[in-house]
Amino acid sequence: QVQLVESGGGLVQAGGSLRLSCAASGGTFSRYRMGWFRQAPGKEREFVAVISRTGGSSYYADSVKGRFTISRDNAKNTLYLQMNNLKPEDTAVYYCAANYLSLTVVDGHYDYWGQGTQVTVSS
C-alpha cells in the first residue's frame, strides 16, 4: 500500500511558476510509474504527465508540453511537477498517482492516488 501526499499548490499570476511535490511512503517508490493528473471544476480528471520508474522516460499532455516538467527523486521517494508559464486554464486540483504495471495516461490504470493540491492561476 502506497500513500501519496501532494504539496506546493497555491495562487499564482499568469506567467508565473509553481513546483508541486508528491511524497510517497509505505511502498517501494522506485517500482512505480508515477503520473500527474488534474481536475478543473465541472470537468473530468485529465492526464498531465507520466514518468517511468527510473525517470528516463516521460510523456506530457499536449496542453502542458514545453511548460511543465515531471521528475522524480527515488532516493527521496518524491515526485515533482515543475510548472512554468502558467495559464488560467491550468487552474485545477492536481493529483499524483502511482501505477505498478505500465507507463500509461489512463487514470483508471493507476493504483494509488494522493488527496490533491489546488493550483489557481489568476489572469
- Continuous segment of H or E residues that includes residue 110: none
pLDDT for 1 equals 85
Cβ partners under 8 Å of residue 91, min gap 6: 40, 119, 120, 121
| Count of C-beta atoms within a 10 Å radius of residue 65 | 10
Per-chain mean pLDDT for the chain: 96
Grade residue 27 by pLDDT with cuts at 50, 70 and 90: confident
Residue 99's identity, in one-letter code, is N
More confident residue, 24 or 101: 24
> What average pLDDT score do residues 100-118 get?
94
Residue 4 to residues 26, 27, 64, 94, 105: CA-CA distances in angstroms?
Answer: 9, 10, 23, 12, 18
The beta strand positions in 1-123, using DSSP E, are 3-7, 10-13, 18-25, 33-39, 46-51, 58-60, 68-73, 78-83, 92-99, 112-113, 117-122
